[in-house]
Amino acid sequence: MKKNPAGEVPLLEWIDRDSKETRLIPESLVVSDYLDNLYPENRLQPADPYLKAKQQVLVGRFGNVNKSLVFYIDECFFHFIRYNRHFIK
Ligand SMILES: N[C@@H](CCC(=O)N[C@@H](CS)C(=O)NCC(=O)O)C(=O)O
């Protein structure tokens, strides 16, 4: 939370060689874009703009599914405990 107020991973953290500053970049797509700019010979995302756009849509959708799923599982657990509290010792 201190490093990423969103409380999520991934989070890229490194110390800048020149300034010695600690730098942080959250968000998987932003991190992969940043790394692709630094190391274009070892790309994480496709160089083809259409394929890159499709991959970004997919990653964005996965992020939403992930959050909905966590929320759904939390809700199920809450109801399970609520309706079975008399049987749980
Ligand atoms: N939009 C963010 C989503 C990242 C995300 O959902 N990360 C999950 C793990 S896959 C997370 O850290 N959730 C918080 C938790 O598990 O407490 C990204 O693409 O980086």
Spatial contact of 28 and 10, defined as CB atoms under 8 Å apart: yes
Residue 27's Cβ-count burial label (10 Å; 0-12, 13-18, 19+) is middle
59 CA: nearest ligand 1 atom = 19
> Quick one: CA dihedral 17, 19, 25, 31, positive or negative?
negative
Instruction: Among 1, 4, 9, name the best residue to mutate to test ligand 1's pocket (greatest count of ligand atoms within 8 A of Cβ).
Output: 9
* Helix H or strand E encompassing 60: helix 49-84
pTM: 0.73
- pLDDT for position 29: 92
pLDDT for res 75:
83
Distance CA 17, CA 35 (A): 16
Is residue 45 within 8 A of residue 52, CB to CB? The reply is: yes
Which residues contact ligand 1 via a Cβ below 6 A?
7-10, 27-28, 63, 66
Model pLDDT, residue 83: 79
How far, in Å, is the centroid of ligand 1 from the Cα of 63? 7
pLDDT tens for each residue of the chain, 89 residues long: 889 998 888 999 999 999 999 999 999 999 999 999 999 999 999 999 999 999 999 888 887 776 777 778 888 888 877 777 777 66
